[in-house]
Amino acid sequence: MRAITSLEIGVQAPERSAVSDLGVGGRILLVDDRPSSYERLAPVLSAEHTVDVEPNPTEALFHAAEGNYDLLIVSLSLENYDGLRLCSQARSLERTRQIPILAIADADNNPRLLRGLEIGVNDYLMRPVDKNELLARARTQVRRRRYTDHLRDNVQHSIEAAITDGLTGLHNRRYMESHLETLAEQAATRGKPLALMMLDIDFFKSINDNHGHDCGDDVLREFAVRIRKSIRGIDLACRYGGEEFVIVMPETDMHVASMVAERLRRSIAGEPFSIDKGNKRIEVTISIGLSTLEKKGEPVAAVLKRADVALYRAKHDGRNRVVA
């Protein structure tokens, strides 16, 4: 990234997190190419925010897309460039669309200001700029920006929590069951196979009994890590219940699924789990039941049921084995 023509203002912006709800401590990019203007505005703003000044709108757009800014302040009456065009470009680019824009307009140029408002400028100031008004309007935009970021993070977070198993970070059963429907439909439509693996840790109850429930949890987490390492990006792994897991493998037939399952079974049995912060190593084995989607339109519950029956047989036949 090319260097920004930042002014050495020497005023430290307040700590961001501590004061974020006040709308100060923001990162502002001031796009202005008249020294008489920015040499006055930047120091005012930097009393409350971190300010970069960029006289060239093309560069400004580049920085705005890369620089994690809370606010763009754009002079509409740049000497050498078109400030309106910058506003319009910032609104059309994915990475800058959400950044609020505060325009600074000349009092004698109302048509340009109206165009700016149409383009989606969030607020404006008229020259000569009143310092207190500049600060107040900047604060409002920074606060709004922080608030929408906060909302977006919260929504994102709730969605993730709703589909994730808290202990292992894998998907949860609810998500798997709803997504399995989609994967089965896709497989049927495209004429591709779909395999499903149901895995259960052998004698997990005695792991809990012998080492404690927390160590049992460690085993579950470590198992999830190993599952993740052994599957592809398009596979879907979930914690189905207590110590039972399901892996859905699109575009995989029974032959390949058996090889994947056998490799995983062997790697679990062959490498003891390091738990309790590395203080304990315990041997773990798993049993696996396999099934595939048999025909178009088959209910996914039937596919799950066949894997469950196969798993039951693997247990019955002596555990630490794969049954199709």
Kindly give the pairing relationship between strand 71-75 and strand 286-292: unpaired
Q: Which two tokens stand for residue 134?
A: 């500049």
Q: Looking at beta carbons, which residue is closest to ligand GH3?
A: 216
Q: Does 204 bind Mg ion (CB under 5 A)?
A: yes
Residue 217 partner contact from Mg ion, ligand GH3, none using kind-dependent CB cut-offs of 5 to 8 Å: ligand GH3
Of residues 204 and 223, the one with the C-beta less far from Mg ion: 204
Number of residues that bind Mg ion (CB under 5 A): 5
Q: Which of residues 234-263 bind Mg ion (CB under 5 A)?
A: 243-244
String of DSSP letters for 64-124:
HHHTT-SEEEEESS-SSS-HHHHHHHHHHSTTTTTS-EEEEE-TT-HHHHHHHHHHT--EE
* 243, 204 contact by CB (below 8 A): yes
Kindly give the pairing relationship between strand 244-250 and strand 236-241: antiparallel
What three-state secondary structure class fits 239? strand
Of residues 190 and 213, the one with the C-beta less far from ligand GH3: 213
Shortest distance, position 158 Cβ to ligand GH3, whole Å: 22
Of residues 157 and 205, the one with the C-beta less far from ligand GH3: 205
Residue 115 partner contact from Mg ion, ligand GH3, none using kind-dependent CB cut-offs of 5 to 8 Å: none
Long-range contacts at 179-183 (CB < 8 A, ≥ 24 apart): 179/236, 179/248, 180/236, 180/248, 180/300, 180/303, 180/304, 181/300, 183/236, 183/248, 183/250
Of residues 61 and 314, the one with the C-beta less far from Mg ion: 314
Of the residues 79, 243, 262, 298, which is catalytic? 243
Q: Does 38 bind Mg ion (CB under 5 A)?
A: no
Of residues 128 and 241, the one with the C-beta less far from ligand GH3: 241
Q: How many Cα atoms sit within 13 Å of 307 on the Cβ side?
A: 30
Q: Which residues are bridge partners to 72 per DSSP?
A: 29, 101
Of residues 242 and 299, the one with the C-beta less far from ligand GH3: 242
Residue 208 partner contact from ligand GH3, Mg ion, none using kind-dependent CB cut-offs of 5 to 8 Å: ligand GH3
Q: Which two tokens stand for residue 107?
A: 């009092």
CA gap 322, 313 in Å, rounded: 9
Q: Does 273 bind Mg ion (CB under 5 A)?
A: no
Q: State how far the alpha carbon of 254 is from the alpha carbons of 158, 179, 236, 244, 289, in Å.
A: 36, 20, 16, 20, 11
Residue 54 partner contact from Mg ion, ligand GH3, none using kind-dependent CB cut-offs of 5 to 8 Å: none
Residues recorded for the chain: 324
Shortest distance, position 220 Cβ to ligand GH3, whole Å: 6
Q: Does 200 bind Mg ion (CB under 5 A)?
A: yes
Element (DSSP H or E) covering residue 230: helix 213-230
Residue 319 partner contact from Mg ion, ligand GH3, none using kind-dependent CB cut-offs of 5 to 8 Å: ligand GH3
Which parts of this chain interact with ligand GH3 (CB under 6 A)?
167, 200-205, 208, 213, 216-217, 220, 242-243, 315, 319
Q: Does 308 bind Mg ion (CB under 5 A)?
A: no
Shortest distance, position 204 Cβ to Mg ion, whole Å: 4
User: What's the sign of the alpha-carbon dihedral 184, 185, 188, 192?
Assistant: negative
Residue carrying the six token digits 């009092």: 107
Shortest distance, position 206 Cβ to ligand GH3, whole Å: 6
User: What's the sign of the alpha-carbon dihedral 311, 316, 318, 324?
Assistant: negative
The answer to whether residue 243 is catalytic is yes
Shortest distance, position 283 Cβ to Mg ion, whole Å: 14
Shortest distance, position 97 Cβ to Mg ion, whole Å: 48
Of residues 70 and 243, the one with the C-beta less far from ligand GH3: 243
Q: Catalog residues that contact Mg ion under the rule CB under 5 A.
A: 200-201, 204, 243-244
Report the catalytic residues: 243
